[in-house]
Amino acid sequence: MSTDDTATAIREFKQAVNMSPQKLAAWLKTPESKEVGYKSSEGGESVGHQSGRRIVELLGQTQAEFSSEDVAHAKKVIGFIHRHLAQRPSGDIADSRWRYSLMNWGHDPQIGKK
């Protein structure tokens, strides 16, 4: 992957993830965060919750610190956020599982909403 591709992926990642590392870390500790998302047949932590923990780490890194695995995860996050936003349910989303799932991936659709 070229440096330009890496820079683009990181820029898009930081645009899609609109929660600060502190807010995301605090969110991941809530019961609501732990209740949503796809869990494997063994149960345990959801894929989104695992991703959220990794996103907190990635937000604290400089571009030079991103490994190829980090860039791949950033692209996965971008894809999830864009796909999930396209599936927005009608009505109030404030306390919806849809919003909570997005928040596990670092995007709160309520940020910037008046």
pLDDT in tens, 51-92: 999 999 999 999 999 999 999 999 999 999 999 999 999 999
Does 111 map to a domain? no
Does 7 map to a domain? yes
- H or E, element range at 100: helix 97-104
pLDDT tens digits along 98-108: 999 999 999 99
Tell me the whole-structure pTM to 2 decimals. Answer: 0.90
Residues above pLDDT 90, as percent of the chain: 78
Q: What is the dihedral of CA 91, 31, 16, 114, to 10 degrees?
A: 40
Q: Answer yes or no: is pLDDT of 45 > 60.
A: yes
Does 114 map to a domain? no
Does 47 map to a domain? yes
Does 90 map to a domain? yes
pLDDT at residue number 70: 96
pLDDT at residue number 3: 66
pLDDT at residue number 64: 93
Does 112 map to a domain? no
Does 58 map to a domain? yes
Domain interval for residue 45: 3-104
How many folded domains does the chain comprise? 1
Does 83 map to a domain? yes
Cβ neighbours for 37, distance < 8 A, ≥ 6 positions apart: 46, 47, 48, 49, 101, 104
